[in-house]
Amino acid sequence: MSTLYAVTLGLLSAAALLTLVRLVRGPSALDRVMALDVVVTLVVAGTAVGMVLRADATPVPALVVLTLLAFIGSVTAAHLVEKREGMR
């Protein structure tokens, strides 16, 4: 079973690396904001896999807070883009 966890963490790491490339390269601010949201989601997923691997539920409150912050950030970014598009 630990091979499955290693493969899962490896795939999450590869996804995070590709997302960080998108975060750096852009080309627009919305791309960067969405890439940052995906990175936070991948961190939450990786932490959840680690929790299962260690059979420790201690970080659950931190995961809830991180998830809520990611949601609020996404909604705020969408609102900002909507306002910006309305000004044109």
First-to-last CA distance in the chain?
54
Please report the pLDDT score of residue 73 as a whole number: 87
- pLDDT, averaged across the chain: 88
The pLDDT, as a whole number, for residue 84 is: 79
| Distance of alpha carbon 30 from alpha carbon 34, whole angstroms | 6
Half-sphere exposure of 7 (CA within 13 A, CB side): 4
Which pLDDT does position 88 carry in this prediction? 64
- Span 15-51, pLDDT tens digits: 999 999 998 998 887 888 889 889 999 999 999 999 9
The Cα angle at residue 37 between residues 64 and 47, in degrees rounded to 5: 45
| 1-22 pLDDT tens trace | 789 988 999 999 999 999 999 9
Rounded Cα–Cα distance for residues 68 and 75 (Å): 11
Please tell me the pTM assigned to this model: 0.82
